[in-house]
Amino acid sequence: MPSRTERLPAGSAPRPAPAEGRKGGARASKKLPTGSEWSFDALERYDKAIARVAGEFGLDTWPVQLEIISSEQMMDAYASAGMPTGYHHWSYGKHFLATEKRYKRGEMGLAYEIVINSNPCVAYLMEENTLTMQALVIAHAAYGHNSFFKGNHLFRQWTDAGTIIDYLVFARDYLADCERRHGVDAVEDVLDSCHALSNVGIDRYKRPQKLSLAREQSRQREREEYLQSQVNDLWRTLPAREAAPEQAAEERFPPEPEENLLYFIEKYAPMMEPWQREVVRIVRKIAQYFYPQRQTKVMNEGWACFWHYTLLNALYDRKQLSDGFMIEFLQSHTNVIYQPPVTKPHYYGINPYALGYGMMNDLRRIAEAPTDEDRQWFPDIAGRDWREALDFAMRNFKDESFIAQYLSPRLMREMHLFSVVDDEKQSDLLVSAIHNEDGYRHLRQVLSDQHNVANIDPDIQVWSVRTRGDRSLTLRHFMHNDRPLADTTDEMLRHVARLWGFDVFLESINASGEIVSTHACRYEKRHER
Amino acid sequence: MAYLIDRRINGRNKSAVNRDRFMRRFRGRIKEAVERAIKHRSIKEIDSGEKVSIPARDISEPTFRPGRGGVWESVHPGNEEYQRGDRIPRPKGGGGTGGGEASSEGEGEDDFVFELSREEFLNYFFEDLALPNLVKTQLASIKDYKTTRAGYTVDGTPTNIHVVRSLRGAIGRRIALASPLAAELHKQEEELHRLEAAPVPDMLRINELREQIHALKSRIYRIPYLDPFDLRYRNRVQVPQPSARAVMFCLMDVSGSMDENRKDIAKRFFTLLYLFLTRNYDTVEVVFIRHHTQAEEVDEETFFRSRETGGTVVSSALELMNEIIERRYPASEWNIYGAQASDGDNWHDDSPRCRHLLAAEIMPRLQYYAYVEIAEAEPQNLWREYEFLAEHFKHRFAIQRIRRLDEIYPVFRELFRKTNAFAY
């Protein structure tokens, strides 16, 4: 969802900043409030100060709406991926229970900020946070993420910040209505299957229309009828007469493979009720809305971290912040951008905050104080105005291309990056590149690929449907680097079959076009719950 | 300028619906876990919460994911020693730098574990159990409330104002507020009189005093007759009103023929019943009667703990039970239940007497009578006599034979199952 969450590592309770006595009229009024307790007045003053600095740096943001919430509400929001409102589903309850349990036991700190990509941009401030943390969240979320949401091309093209909340309300009401009409179980079944398939319910290449609530509502009924008539048309033909079976087999449907499985189901599943199609559509639309987030995790976090650091330091330089504030702030900041090395037991891969922040900072360094190496690698940035360079990077890239474009040799050296090949046919792992002259380009390419969502998700497409036969659906999985599907596949096919209403097959195809493995799921009506 | 909104006041418990959905969906799973727990934990420990773990695969929200295998190349930070071309043994168990990392971002495969509170646990446990034939009145657990007076409060609705109390308070307040002023007034009036009586009145002082007196009088005058502070309201509280009362008789053989093991089983059986009762009915009384050749009424502690030896005369317990019913629990006011545990041994001549006592005296007053026989041998005479009763009072007299600890629970379920078969 249009939200970003960050965890305060457990056990790192922010220390209160030492209260500072007010010294004289003029200087005291310039200083921002200190102490660990926040107040509405103090938050307003911090927001004003941060907004002013952000404006001076040229950050372009949506209007900001700061909302104070309790920890329980934060857990609510956390459970529903930050959606301020949404339809009801057990999985959100599950996440809530899990979060609550871990929070109560002290195993995790709560996400201390959630920000919603909407207009106005909503940022949650948790009441338990200290004043310093609130200021950090305001700078990070309400100005950092906010400007990214507004500026980055993926968000600009694929999401409409003005209407998302309205659409979520529409979805919630529509599903509540469905539950009344068709029962909770029936709706839950469809939702379960749709949630499972939401990763393959996305248009990756063709840009969908932006959500518009008014249009959705006015057209929804119309669409129901139209869709149903289309489906009826496709399936109208009675099962083919035995006379001409070959001829029937010739016709291919769909004419081109379709990458968006949920879209295909919504349009063509033979036995679906109109309301079920609408539910599929809702899940699909919301998943689509999330898609830019997944593609810009590194950039988005890096950008926000860079700006909270820059903005608060600017305020400190103007003597508006106390030393105590800065110490508490820096402690949180370093926690967030810490990258444990591979040798540490708590290493869980690359920390997107660390990588993103490192790259953003590095970009500024390259622009401001380039070395000869930088001039060679980044001739068009070196020596340029750093704000322009950063702004350009923020607007026009996603993680994959951002890394491919801007990861500098110096940062690779600083992070001691190396790449490892894990080939199941080999008994050992192979170090393919390290942070040296030979390895830079290779490392950069591998890291970029690693952040390419298209490489992470398996490539599964609708291959064919036997329109004249048993109506079975065949999916094809185009294997990337011979990677098979995980053991969830059979279960996934059951979900597909539940929506499709007939048998479903899946074939895995390797790079040379051979079918490596097949899965099948027979649809049995009787087993429907 | 940003908007600052305080959301803390609204939207509490927004996830409640989703949490309910979760419990609802995994109801079967949770019940299973509860039942498993009941099987394995001692009945005496039953009165506590339970960790329910649901297998991760049941609760997972699957997606199409790449599995292990194929070729993975990934970048990691913190290189210390590796050079290009180095070979690293594949980490065991797939951790560390192995493949599949891109997809498995910290998603553990552990079971999903969450805590059921004691209440929830017992709710599940007792879910489809109920005392049968609770027909005289409603279930005790459905509480009736009766409004009773409980003193006075300082706020309430105008209709509840207690006039006398309020005015009493007002008088007190007026006195308290006015008395220092009145004393002062009195003093000054006296002085005024004295001055006025003087041959040469000191007009300056007199005028000053008059003004002061006037000021004091108006201050006293301004003390309100009735202040909101004085108001007292009748306080009414809701007191739960039992609409059904039940008494449960627990009869147990503690004679020499009941060995430790059997006693243990019987104890557990009663513990279970007792728990069930204390849990489901606020207004259930329990009478414990233990017997060998003689019967006595004991408290719960003694009932389960003490050791006795001797022969067995079951009828002694039944007689005592009958006596207690007559004395303390008139059948017109109480729903009476009986539960008996024994090894089946009895003086030979006593068993027909038991049957007679039950059929003629006790059963007409009882809602339900349950008997468990903890024995491995062939049923003895008591069982055969009870069989007649079971036949005769078809849905109100239940008998079961149990042999092992783990049979208690099914027996319990059998006895107290919420079925129509038990209805009249």
Q: What angle do CA A217, A222, A227 make, to 5 degrees?
A: 115
Closest-CA distance, A87 to chain B, in angstroms, reads 9
Chain A residues with CB under 8 Å of B98 CB are 422, 429
The Cα–Cα gap between A375 and A388 comes to 17
Do the Cβ atoms of A69 and B82 come within 8 Å? no
Question: What mean pLDDT do residues A363-379 have?
Answer: 93
**A46-81: pLDDT as tens digits:** 999 999 999 999 999 999 999 898 888 888 887 777
Cβ(B304)–Cβ(B267) under 8 Å?
Answer: yes
Q: Quick check: A417 and B77 CB within 8 A?
A: yes
* Chain B neighbors of A400, CB-CB under 8 A: none
Chain A residues within 8 A of B70 when measuring between CB atoms: 423-424, 479-484
Name the most confidently modeled range: B28-32, B91-95, B267-271. B28-32
Q: Give me the residue from A43, A69, A93 closest to B21, CB to CB.
A: A93
pTM of the full predicted structure? Answer: 0.66
Tokens of B171: 């008088």
Whether residues A40 and B4 touch (CB distance < 8 A) is answered with yes
pLDDT of residue B140 exceeding 50 = no
* Nearest chain B Cα distance for residue A490, angstroms: 10
- Segment B379-393 shows an average pLDDT of 84
d(CA A248, nearest CA chain B) in Å? 32
Say if residues B46 and A108 touch (Cβ distance below 8 Å). Answer: no
Beta-bridge mates of residue B402: B374
Highest mean pLDDT of the ranges A210-214, B41-45, B79-83, B109-113: B79-83
Output the pLDDT for position A29. Answer: 41
- Amino acid of residue B246: A
Asked whether the beta carbons of residue B86 and residue A487 sit closer than 8 angstroms, the reply is no
* Residues of chain B neighbouring A340 (CB-CB closer than 8 A): 78
Asked whether the predicted pLDDT for residue A233 surpasses 70, the reply is: no
Q: Do A423 and B13 touch (CB under 8 A)?
A: no
Please state, in angstroms and rounded to a whole number, the distance separating the CA atoms of residues A103 and A101: 5
Q: How many CA atoms lie within 13 A of B419 on its CB side?
A: 9
Number of structural domains (chain B) is 3
Q: Tell which wins on pLDDT, A403 or A4.
A: A403
The CA distances from residue A498 to A203, A246, A329, in Å, are 22, 29, 51
Residues A219, B91: Cα–Cα separation, whole Å: 55
Q: Which of A483, A495, A508, A529 to mutate to test the interface with B (most CBs of B within 10 A)?
A: A483
> What tokens were used for A95?
């996440």
In sequence order, what are the residues at sequence separation of 6 or more whose Cβ sits closer than 8 angstroms to the Cβ of residue B156?
B233, B234, B235
Q: Is A513 left (phi over 0), alpha (psi -120 to 50) or beta?
A: left
Query: Across the interface, which of B7, B102, B112 has its CB nearest the CB of A73?
Result: B7
Cα(B243)–Cα(B136) distance, rounded to whole angstroms?
10
Asked if A344 lies within 8 A of B60 by C-beta distance, the reply is no
Strand partners, B401: B373
Check CB contact under 8 Å for B70 and A67: no
Of A97, A192, A431, the CB nearest to B19: A97
CA B341 to each of CA A378, B254, B262, B292, B370: distance values in angstroms, whole numbers, following the listed order:
89, 10, 9, 12, 9
Q: Are residues B296 and B396 in the same domain?
A: yes
In angstroms, the CA A32 to CA A30 distance is 6
Query: What pLDDT was estimated at residue B47?
Result: 58
Residue A334's Cβ-count burial label (10 Å; 0-12, 13-18, 19+) is exposed
Size of chain A in residues: 529
Say what the pLDDT of residue A159 is: 80
Instruction: Decide if B276 is inside a domain.
Output: yes
How far does B83 lie from chain A, in Å, by closest CA? 6
Is the confidence metric ipTM above 0.85 for this complex? no
Of A24, A308, A291, the C-alpha closest to A142 is A308
Residue of A nearest to B56 (CA): A94
Q: Please compute the mean of the pLDDT values over residues A92-106 and round it to a whole number.
A: 78
pLDDT digits (tens, 9 = 90+) for B186-198: 998 898 888 888 8
Give A527's pLDDT tier (boundaries 50, 70, 90).
very low
Which of B174, B205, B234 is at the close of a domain? B234
Q: Which comes out higher in pLDDT, residue A126 or B405? A: A126
How are beta strands B87-89 and A418-423 bridged, if at all? Answer: unpaired
More reliable by pLDDT, B268 or B144: B268
Q: Letter for the amino acid at A68? A: I
Element (H, E) at A394: helix A386-396
Helix, strand or coil for residue A459? strand
Nearest-neighbour CA in chain B from A189: distance (Å): 11
- Indicate if B256 and B366 belong to the same structural domain: yes
- 3-class SS of residue B218: helix
Residue B106: predicted pLDDT: 36
Kindly report the nearest CA distance between residue A217 and chain B, in angstroms. 25
Strand-pairing partners, residue B372, are B341, B400
Q: Are residues B264 and B357 in the same domain?
A: yes
Closest CB from B7, B12, B71 relative to A67: B7
Q: Which residues pair with B250 in a beta bridge?
A: B288, B339
A486 CB neighbours in chain B (<8 A) are 64-68, 103
For residue A327, the model assigns a pLDDT of 93
- Of B208, B234, B260, at which residue does a domain stop? B234
Which residues from B are below 8 Å from A89, CB to CB?
18, 21
- CB contacts < 8 A, A to B, total 274
Interacting residues of B195 by C-beta distance below 8 A, sequence separation 6+: B201, B202, B205, B206, B209
Q: Are residues B345 and B309 in the same domain?
A: yes
Answer whether residue A12 shows pLDDT above 50: no
| Cα gap B416→B339, rounded to integer Å | 11
Are the CB atoms for A54 and A135 separated by under 8 Å? no
pLDDT higher than threshold 70 for residue B84: yes
Is the pLDDT score of A238 beyond 60? no
pLDDT tens digits, A309-351: 999 999 999 999 999 999 999 998 998 899 999 888 888 889 9
Query: Nearest C-alpha of chain B: how many angstroms from A123?
Result: 10
In which order are the strands placed within the sheet that holds B397-402? Answer: B295-298, B284-291, B246-253, B335-342, B368-374, B397-402
Kindly state whether residue B9 falls inside one of the protein's structural domains. Answer: no
Q: Find, in chain B, the residue whose alpha carbon is nearest to that of A421.
A: B73
Which of the residue ranges A184-188, A437-441, B28-32, B195-199 would you say has the lowest mean pLDDT? B28-32
pLDDT digits (tens, 9 = 90+) for A148-165: 999 999 998 888 877 888
**Length in residues, chain B:** 424
Q: Do B85 and A423 touch (CB under 8 A)?
A: no
pLDDT recorded at residue A528? 47
End-to-end CA distance of chain A: 30
CB contact under 8 A, A142 and B2: yes
Burial A60-99 (b: 16+ CB within 10 A, else e): ebbebbbbbbbbbbbbbbbbbbbbbebbbbbbbbbbbbbb
Chain B residues with CB under 8 Å of A343 CB are 78, 80
Q: What is the percent of chain B where pLDDT is above 70?
A: 71
- Candidates A38, A62, A94: best to mutate against B (most CBs of B within 10 A) is A94
pLDDT in tens, A385-418: 999 999 999 999 999 999 999 999 999 999 999 9
Q: Nearest chain A Cα to B26, which residue?
A: A90
A453 contacts in B (CB within 8 Å)? none
Nearest CA in chain A to B102: A456
Q: Do B280 and B206 lie in a common domain? A: no
Q: How far apart are CA A115 and CA A123, in angstroms?
A: 4
Q: Which residue has the tokens 């800065």?
A: A326
Alpha-carbon distance of A284 to A290, in angstroms, equals 10
SS3 A126: strand
Question: Is there a contact between A486 and B11 if contact means CB atoms under 8 Å apart?
Answer: no
Q: Is A43 helix (H, G, I), strand (E, B) or coil?
A: helix
Label residue B419 left, alpha or beta by phi (over 0 means left) and psi (-120 to 50 means alpha): beta
Assess whether pLDDT exceeds 80 at residue A21. Answer: no
Query: What is the torsion angle, in degrees rounded to the nearest 10, for the CA atoms of residue B99, residue B103, residue B109 and residue B113?
Result: 150
B168 & B260 share domain: no
Contact between residue A269 and residue A190 where contact means Cβ atoms under 8 Å apart: no
Least CB–CB distance from A93: residue in B18, B89, B103 = B18
Question: Which pLDDT band, with edges at 50, 70 and 90, does A216 fall under?
Answer: low
Angle at A415 between CA A413 and CA A420, to 5 degrees: 90
If asked whether residues B399 and B293 sit together in one domain, one would say yes
Cβ contact, residue pair A431, B86, below 8 Å: yes
Instruction: Look at A94 and B59 and tell me if their CB atoms are within 8 Å.
Output: yes
pLDDT attached to residue A44: 92
Among the listed residues B28, B34, B43, B30, the one whose alpha carbon sits nearest the alpha carbon of residue B409: B43
Give the residue carrying structure tokens 């200290």: A130
The pLDDT value recorded for residue B154 is 86
Kindly indicate the confidence band of residue A448, based on its pLDDT and cuts at 50, 70 and 90.
very high
Q: What is the pLDDT of residue A400?
A: 93
Q: Alpha-carbon distance A123 to A68, whole Å?
A: 9
Query: What is the average per-residue pLDDT within B144-172?
Result: 84
8 Å CB contact of B73 and A422? yes
Same domain (yes/no): B229, B268: no
What's the mean pLDDT in A82-98? 83
CA distance A269 to A262: 10
Question: Residue A278: its pLDDT value, please?
Answer: 93
CB contacts, 8 Å: B89 with chain A = 427-429
Regarding predicted confidence, which is higher, A518 or B8?
A: A518
**A213-235 and A274-295 helices, crossing angle to 10°:** 120
Interchain contact, B97 vs A485, CB within 8 Å = no
Say whether pLDDT at B119 is over 80: no
Q: What is the mean pLDDT of residues B301-324?
A: 80
- Omega before A292 within 30 of 0, i.e. cis: no
Which chain B residue lies closest to A90 (C-alpha atoms)?
B22
Is-contact B266 B374, C-beta < 8 A?
Answer: yes
Q: Are A400 and A448 in contact (CB under 8 A)?
A: yes
Q: Please give the single-letter amino acid code of residue B298.
A: V
- Report the 10 Å Cβ neighbour count for B133: 16
Q: For residue B95, name the pLDDT band (cuts at 50, 70, 90).
A: very low
3-state secondary structure of A10: coil
Please, what is the average pLDDT of chain B?
75
- Which of B10-24, B74-88, B100-114, B358-372 is predicted with the least confidence, judged by mean pLDDT? B100-114
Shortest distance between the Cα of A239 and any Cα of chain B, in A, equals 32
Nearest CA to B215 out of B195, B196, B191, B189 is that of: B189
Angular region, A183: left φ>0, alpha ψ -120 to 50, beta rest: left
Q: What residues make up the domain containing B201?
A: 158-234
CATH number at residue B178: 1.20.120
The whole-number average pLDDT for the span A26-48 is 79
B393: alpha, beta or left, given left = phi > 0 and alpha = psi -120 to 50? beta
Identify whether residues B312 and B371 lie together within a single domain. yes
The per-residue pLDDT for A415 is 93
Q: Is A109 helix (H, G, I), strand (E, B) or coil?
A: coil
- CATH number, domain of B339, equals 3.40.50.410
Query: Mean pLDDT over residues B348-375, rounded?
Result: 85
Least confident of A83-87, B22-26, B246-250: A83-87
- Calpha distance A465→A471 (Å, rounded): 6
Q: Which long-range contacts (CB under 8 A, 24 or more apart) does A366-370 make?
A: A366/A408
Split at pLDDT 50, 70, 90, the class of A529 is very low
How do the domains of chain A map onto residue ranges? 6-152+296-336, 164-231+256-294, 352-455, 458-527
Euclidean distance between CA atoms A155 and A153, whole angstroms: 5
Give percent above pLDDT 70 in chain A: 84
Hunting for tokens 């024994």 — which residue is that? B342
Minimum distance, in Å, between the CA of residue A417 and any CA atom of chain B: 4
Tell me, yes or no, whether B167 lies in a domain: yes
Torsion sign over Cα A334, A335, A336, A338: positive
Chain A residue with CA closest to B22: the answer is A90
Q: Are B177 and B301 contained in the same domain?
A: no
Q: Are residues B36 and B175 in the same domain?
A: no
Interface test with A, best of B5, B25, B75 (most A CBs within 10 A): B75
> In this predicted model, which residue has the larger pLDDT, A210 or A407?
A407
Inter-chain touch A420–B76, beta carbons under 8 Å: yes
Neighbouring C-alpha atoms within 13 Å toward the C-beta of A83: 23
pLDDT per residue over B19-58, tens digit each? 778 888 888 878 777 777 765 554 445 556 677 777 776 7
